[in-house]
Structure 1
Amino acid sequence: MQQILDVIMEAEKAPDHAEQLRKLSGVTIPTTYEGVVVRAEESTMFDGLSTAEKDPRKALHVQEVPTPEVGPGEALIAVMASAINYNTVWTSIFEPMSTFGFLKRYGKVSELTARHDLPYHVVGSDAAGVVLKVGAGVTRWKAGDQIVAHCLSVELEEAAGHDDTMLDPQQRIWGFETNFGGLAQLALVKANQLMPKPAHLTWEEAASPGLVNSTAYRQLVSHHGANMKQGDVVLIWGASGGLGSYATQMALNGGAIPVCVVSSPDKAELCHRMGAELVIDRAAEGYKFWADKHTQDPSEWKRFGARIRELTGGEDPDIVFEHPGRETFGASVFVAKRGGTIVTCASTSGYEHQYDNRYLWMSLKRIIGSHFANYREAWEANRLIDLGRIHPTLSKTFPMDQTGQAAYDVHRNAHQGKVGVLCLAPATGLGVRDQEKRSQLLNSITRFSGV
């Protein structure tokens, strides 16, 4: 592993860094590597505890694991940095189910996928790094290429996936429903998960947008999602968080009018820094959409809707960007305008949603389910990062041996934007290839840093 890192670090300051990285084609691939794992033997460790009581730090371990063989159409990458997504939190607390069920089912697909069915699960659905080796049939990528990886893993052997790869019956999220994920020194991906690393970003910055940026793109911009247009009023829950911070930028970049919902003055300030003008601090204004565990309070929906119209000059949201789920969904359906769209991609506060269907059917509203992004959407979202139209929202970076703490912070919502993890990278700030472009965009790139 040290030989791999030495080549990458020698290329760091070399003017011909791309050529220097080609030396990785001659490096011996180590037989083992360190990865962040959950263990099948511990999958019942939190039984009987509430979600809030479950601690990712107890379930996430850094351990040495065997390096998988690289199969046809695959690539092995040296991971310089990764990031925490909520699916890693779910994996670490074994909710809503243990991911070992996913690995077992995937292992039955073919002899190649059988490698994923193991008593440990290397987690993580983001990565920035360098290609080490490619399998048979891979022509676009070669050893030394600097890449980021998106998390769509799909077999594409059935017709259903060829119009929209998210509809493939064997669609999975890498590092969550497959093994050998990105929170590790090495990672195994399908070669069509690879995209060019934006040259003006550090490794940890480049690793942080992947999952959430692509998810927000499909959810808001794509015709598979809300198909946002200029002038749309877009209500964004958790607008300074890992997902919402990209939705906020995309709304602004696309000429829409974001109404950002946050839970503290600090988070409101971050939204203003991104350029948003309309912000609701739901904690300060005391919204309580549930009177108790079983009963929602429609009067609070109405108060919330009135506040939105006060900010927008009387307009209701054309689009509601949903991901908290149970806690907010009733309010989301209520406040969307007549003919409006509620687009949902997650349920971090609970999967069983309740809403008053009269406000949906009688006002001709739509609910759209949205999950990650297809290949084209992921590339388009990454292009926006590369162009400097959308920026990373990285607030803090942990070393790999503190991944449990990083996931704990996300579980407790004690973070802003995205939380990064250094894997092979020995320090933050490495990997920048285009300093001139970076200097022009620095204030936007670093506006979440240290918050």
Structure 2
Amino acid sequence: MPTEEIANIRAAILAGEFSDIGKLPLPAYYRGITVHADEADMFTGLPSRDKDPRKSLHLDEVALPAPAHGEALVAVMASAVNYNTVWSALFEPVPTFAFLSRYGRRSALAARHDQPFHVIGSDLAGVVLRTGPGVTLWRPGDRVVAHCLSVELESPEGHGDTLLDPDQRIWGYETNFGGLAHIALVKANQLMPKPRHLTWEEAAAPGLVNSTAYRQLVSRNGAGMKLGDTVLIWGAAGGLGSCATQLALAAGATPVCVVSSAAKAELCRAMGATAVIDRSAESYTFWRDEHTHDEREWRRFGSRIRELADGDVDIVFEHPGRDTFGASLYVARKGGTIVTCASTTGFVHQYDNRHLWMKVKRIVGSHFATYREAWEANRLVAKGRVHPTLSRTYHLEDVACAVYDVHQNLHHGKVGVLCLAPREGLGVEDQESRGRWLPEINRFRSRPASAPGAGRRLDKRESSPDNPFLLRENIAD
């Protein structure tokens, strides 16, 4: 069972007793989803597709860190799975312990993050429990969501764009004590108001993906999308792509949605997209072999886009990487923009550079978002202009299965995780607005995903006796 302190915190939140939550005792230990440094080589030699996160993820109890200056502890009611969760579990492209070690060398406080375990997760919706010195905007009892940019801002480089700060990191991926847990440690400038019309699990779902898509498409730091643009969106029914599709539609642009199944194509149409390409049904294969692009397929793909969108592509929303990047560069119009934030199919890209320089196209790198960009993206959710695309919710003990589903692309939209929330449907404050937008909120839930991966619940393991940060006893149900 959870500790008495955790049980009392959860009971207070469920009862709506937020004003006195800062007076409740904190636990010495809390539960979180971890990977272990001594297992970082467990998948050596395996291709990425064959690595199984159900073997690497654990549910451990770890010592609760105290919030330092500018930090806060948040009771996590719900979280979500992102692709960086998959990377963490697969120990690729490098084990995350390299990030934690480098961060730990920065200062005595940062050294708290350099542990032989890593509590992962880069989304949350919950309630502030404690704040450290210097925090004035937030107080215990505030209902919040968190974005995942952790930044120090002690260097001048970050004060024009915080993504340029040399100490910029992604919380829960390059820092410890992330959101797939009962309690999370965040910087106070990661916090934003929880949208009042959403449940805990719905509110946790858009954070990372919506903020990332906002910077990529809307921000001047990204593509600067404008009214009338045609935007090619890869993986348009996934967590990232579904936010990009909604942002394009809200901005008066024309999304061209690329998906991998008829069911996902239907989801895009339900969001309002009219130009949809089922890549599997139309049998696009952009590589003749492992080393050779097939430019004929690029031309066929470009013709199909012009047929559907009545024009060329102004912006390509890139994140698959190696498999698609050559085609993305080719189909963008002369002077067009390819904006990329990830490489889920491979980090080493190949493309024909003639189509870049001779047609004066731009490639823009985009990595998450600034606090202001994340705040604006969250405000669109609160105003009902962008809706969560939550399709399925797991309990914390079942996170390994959730991560497996995302790794194997068995999901639609976002996969949520209940942490302290005992069930779905809790946490709504504005029922009137919710009723107005309920069909859109439930849009991805009403369609079954592919068969979820058969998996196991995470073992309640006995921790290593020489690790002072893990509870030295089995975790009982």
Question: Does the alignment reach a TM-score above 0.5?
Answer: yes
Matching of residue 396 in structure 1 with residue 392 in structure 2: yes
**Contact 2:5 2:27 survives alignment (8 Å):** no
C-alpha distance in 2 between matches for 1:260 and 1:400: 32
Give the aligned partner of residue 241 of structure 1. Answer: 238
Give the aligned partner of residue 25 of structure 2. Answer: 28
C-alpha distance in 2 between matches for 1:191 and 1:233: 37
Give the aligned partner of residue 468 of structure 2. Answer: none
C-alpha distance in 1 between matches for 2:35 and 2:76: 19
**Of the candidates 361, 368, 372, which is equivalent to residue 372 of structure 1?**
368
One-letter amino acid of the structure 2 residue matched with residue 307 of structure 1: R
RMSD value, Cα: 1.0
Matching of residue 43 in structure 1 with residue 40 in structure 2: yes
Matching of residue 357 in structure 1 with residue 350 in structure 2: no
**Cα gap change, 1:328 to 1:383, in 2 (>3 Å):** same
Matching of residue 66 in structure 1 with residue 49 in structure 2: no
**Contact 1:36 1:61 survives alignment (8 Å):** yes
**Contact 2:10 2:420 survives alignment (8 Å):** no
C-alpha distance in 1 between matches for 2:77 and 2:176: 18
Following TM superposition, by how much is the alpha carbon of 1:303 offset from its aligned partner in structure 2, in angstroms? 0.2
One-letter amino acid of the structure 2 residue matched with residue 290 of structure 1: W
Give the aligned partner of residue 155 of structure 1. Answer: 152
C-alpha distance in 2 between matches for 1:10 and 1:28: 12
**Cα gap change, 1:129 to 1:5, in 2 (>3 Å):** farther
Give the aligned partner of residue 322 of structure 1. Answer: 318
Matching of residue 337 in structure 1 with residue 295 in structure 2: no
Structure 1, residues 318-337: CA drift from partner, whole Å, max 9, x if none? 00000000000000000000
* Identity across the alignment (%): 65
One-letter amino acid of the structure 1 residue matched with residue 251 of structure 2: G
**Cα gap change, 1:157 to 1:39, in 2 (>3 Å):** same
Q: Secondary structure at the match of 2:18?
A: helix
C-alpha distance in 1 between matches for 2:7 and 2:271: 35
C-alpha distance in 2 between matches for 1:364 and 1:446: 42
Matching of residue 188 in structure 1 with residue 189 in structure 2: no
Following TM superposition, by how much is the alpha carbon of 1:65 offset from its aligned partner in structure 2, in angstroms? 0.6
Give the aligned partner of residue 137 of structure 1. Answer: 134
Give the aligned partner of residue 270 of structure 2. Answer: 273
Following TM superposition, by how much is the alpha carbon of 1:312 offset from its aligned partner in structure 2, in angstroms? 1.5
Following TM superposition, by how much is the alpha carbon of 1:3 offset from its aligned partner in structure 2, in angstroms? 4.4
Q: Secondary structure at the match of 2:338?
A: strand
C-alpha distance in 2 between matches for 1:380 and 1:111: 34
C-alpha distance in 1 between matches for 2:320 and 2:361: 19
**Contact 1:8 1:21 survives alignment (8 Å):** no
One-letter amino acid of the structure 1 residue matched with residue 387 of structure 2: H
Q: Secondary structure at the match of 1:279?
A: strand
**Contact 1:7 1:23 survives alignment (8 Å):** no
Structure 1, residues 117-155: CA drift from partner, whole Å, max 9, x if none? 000000000000000000000011111000001000000
Matching of residue 83 in structure 1 with residue 58 in structure 2: no
**Of the candidates 75, 100, 105, which is equivalent to residue 102 of structure 2?**
105
Instruction: Name the TM-score, length of structure 1 as normaliser.
Output: 0.97
**Cα gap change, 1:44 to 1:4, in 2 (>3 Å):** closer
**Contact 1:406 1:419 survives alignment (8 Å):** yes
C-alpha distance in 2 between matches for 1:63 and 1:108: 25
Q: Secondary structure at the match of 1:444?
A: helix
C-alpha distance in 1 between matches for 2:143 and 2:121: 19
Following TM superposition, by how much is the alpha carbon of 1:23 offset from its aligned partner in structure 2, in angstroms? 1.5
Alignment of 1:194-205 (within 5 A): 194-205=191-202
Matching of residue 427 in structure 1 with residue 413 in structure 2: no
Alignment of 1:280-291 (within 5 A): 280-291=277-288
Residue ranges of structure 1 left out of the alignment (5+ in a row): none
**Contact 1:250 1:390 survives alignment (8 Å):** yes
C-alpha distance in 2 between matches for 1:302 and 1:407: 35
Following TM superposition, by how much is the alpha carbon of 1:25 offset from its aligned partner in structure 2, in angstroms? 1.1
Q: Secondary structure at the match of 2:415?
A: strand
C-alpha distance in 1 between matches for 2:235 and 2:39: 32
**Contact 1:330 1:353 survives alignment (8 Å):** yes
